[in-house]
């Protein structure tokens, strides 16, 4: 399978994509296969000059062929891109797994999600309608929805293709142009997607890809005066820095800044369904998703039974290289492995109790055992984002305490609840501090359902029709005429 993955990426030119051209100057950065902890390729690191060239290309394309393309034709282009992505699902998934480490079936699902983003927003491109405003005799007013302009997509390393498509597809549907900055460690599928879009007819300069570290390339993008909107997913500290840079030239921002999402299990819950949702929520992509089920808030009357089940399931998970399609792959980098291990070891020393796992797994790659730990709401394990396969268990006495514990966090991305009582479920959904709530199925929904955080989890919404709003601005035209 490794040979197939290397063959799949053999045709990828490892360079920036600026105005439809491959640009490869700059120092090189090694890409590491996290399942083997071995380098398998190298890409150039860009700088401010590359960013300036990409922004200029995007600005020219905005005023050129992209602006003159009919909305229906934009939609058709996005639909063809969706179909091509599905036709090449295996090739994209192999490269994504090699670069990120996630199990192959999860990478295939991510390619499917990316294709669905293009399909969904393809259907919207020719339906971005305005409104008329009644002003009375002799006056007419109407609104139009225009593309916001040049946009930047600063993409994280945990789901490079799906996260890029999540912002890129609505931006293109709205008529914007884009500079994408993939994470420096996982750039490959962004380059492949840029090539695919060019092959299906995207004009040169509409999508540009600049490789390199966030503190150089990402910072230059956020500060560039000709970038009108920035979509960023990453840490709280970096998100605040992006927002501050954008404010210097009044660019708008969409920020998803992580989470410490609670999953509440009440005493009347379907425990089998809850266990399945928790396992999916915390161990998908080795826990490296912003909306991971990081905190299990469980009624102590059912805690023992539920914990017996999920610890048993966790111990049965098989670990391995992502290309072997295991239950659990490696963490994406040595840095992330050290972070997870450090937080777990400190939690042990603080008195948090290990129910399963709790140590690094053997092997040459960056593996950590699926871990379940009992803690308290005020401890770091329950407050800080770990971004690994670590579930923090917090026992409570009743629904009111479950809500208090759930809201006891600086984050507010998603939340979940398992209960057979609809009154309890809706009361929780109304009162929990989160941008998205799942009832009786954690991580339900899809491309159609908007997501975004409150508190330190960020601002703005992505996915669904709400995801278009960041890429559009409203122009109002008012006309006075002779009504006689």
198 vs 468: CA distance, rounded Å: 22
Q: Could you count the other beta carbons within 10 Å of the beta carbon of residue 10?
A: 8
331 vs 311: CA distance, rounded Å: 20
Torsion of CA 84, 90, 95, 98, to 10 degrees: 160
Is residue 404 within 8 Å of residue 447, measured between CB atoms? no
Pairing of strands 229-233, 207-209: unpaired
Torsion region of 178: left, alpha or beta (phi above 0 gives left; psi -120 to 50 gives alpha): beta
Tokens of 53: 């060239």
Pairing of strands 436-439, 414-418: parallel
262 vs 274: CA distance, rounded Å: 13
300 vs 292: CA distance, rounded Å: 22
First and final C-alpha spacing in the chain: 77
Closest C-alpha among 389, 385, 420 to residue 310: 389
For residue 145, the cross-strand partners are 474
The residue length of the chain stands at: 484
DSSP three-state, residue 124: coil
For residue 396, the cross-strand partners are 299
Among the options 119, 176, 290, 385, which is catalytic? 290
Among the options 119, 256, 385, 462, which is catalytic? 256
Q: For residue 176, indicate whether it is catalytic.
A: no
254 vs 328: CA distance, rounded Å: 31
Closest C-alpha among 152, 147, 148 to residue 54: 152
Closest C-alpha among 468, 461, 450 to residue 121: 468
Pairing of strands 150-154, 414-418: unpaired
442 vs 51: CA distance, rounded Å: 39
Pairing of strands 458-459, 252-256: antiparallel
DSSP three-state, residue 151: strand
Closest C-alpha among 388, 396, 349 to residue 372: 388
Active site residues: 256, 290
């Amino acid at each position: 399978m490794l040979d197939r993955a290397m063959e799949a990426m053999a045709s990828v030119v490892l360079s920036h994509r600026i105005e439809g051209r491959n640009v490869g100057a700059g120092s090189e950065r090694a890409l590491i296969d996290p399942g083997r902890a071995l380098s398998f390729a190298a890409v150039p690191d860009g700088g401010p000059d590359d960013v300036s060239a990409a922004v200029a290309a995007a600005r020219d394309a905005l005023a050129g062929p992209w602006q003159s393309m009919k909305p229906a034709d934009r939609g058709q282009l996005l639909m063809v891109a969706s179909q091509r992505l599905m036709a090449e699902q295996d090739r994209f998934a192999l490269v994504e797994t090699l670069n990120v480490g996630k199990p192959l079936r999860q990478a295939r699902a991510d390619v499917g999600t990316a294709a669905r983003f293009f399909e969904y927003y393809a259907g919207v491109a020719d339906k971005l309608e305005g409104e008329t405003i009644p002003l009375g005799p002799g006056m007419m007013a109407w609104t139009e929805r225009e593309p916001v302009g040049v946009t930047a997509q600063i993409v994280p390393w945990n789901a490079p293709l799906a996260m890029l498509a999540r912002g890129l597809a609505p931006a293109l549907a709205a008529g914007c142009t884009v500079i994408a900055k993939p994470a420096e460690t996982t750039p490959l599928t962004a380059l492949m997607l840029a090539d695919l879009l060019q092959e299906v007819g995207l004009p040169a300069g509409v999508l540009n890809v600049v490789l390199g570290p966030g503190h150089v390339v990402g910072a230059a993008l956020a500060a560039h005066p000709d970038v009108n909107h920035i979509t960023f997913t990453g840490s709280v500290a970096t998100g605040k820095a992006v927002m501050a840079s954008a404010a210097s030239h009044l660019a708008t921002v969409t920020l998803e800044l992580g989470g410490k999402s609670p999953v509440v299990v009440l005493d009347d819950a379907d425990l089998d369904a809850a266990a399945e949702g928790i396992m999916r929520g915390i161990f998908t992509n080795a826990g490296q998703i912003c909306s991971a089920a990081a905190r299990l808030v469980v009624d102590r009357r059912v805690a023992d039974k539920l914990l017996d089940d999920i610890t048993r399931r966790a111990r049965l998970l098989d670990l391995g290289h992502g290309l072997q399609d295991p239950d659990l792959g490696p963490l994406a980098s040595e840095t992330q492995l050290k972070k997870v291990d450090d937080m777990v070891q400190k939690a042990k020393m603080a008195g948090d109790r290990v129910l399963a796992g709790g140590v690094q797994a053997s092997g040459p790659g960056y593996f950590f055992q699926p871990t379940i730990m009992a803690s308290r709401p005020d401890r770091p394990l329950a407050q800080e984002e770990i971004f690994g396969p670590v579930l923090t268990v917090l026992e409570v006495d009743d629904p009111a305490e479950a809500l208090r514990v759930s809201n006891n966090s600086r984050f507010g991305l998603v939340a979940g609840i398992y209960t057979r009582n609809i009154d309890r479920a809706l009361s929780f959904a109304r009162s929990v501090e989160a941008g998205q709530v799942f009832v009786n199925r954690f991580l339900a929904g899809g491309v159609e359902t908007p997501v975004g955080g409150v508190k330190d989890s960020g601002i703005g919404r992505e996915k669904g029709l709400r995801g278009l709003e960041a890429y559009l601005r409203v122009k109002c035209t008012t006309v006075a005429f002779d009504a006689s």
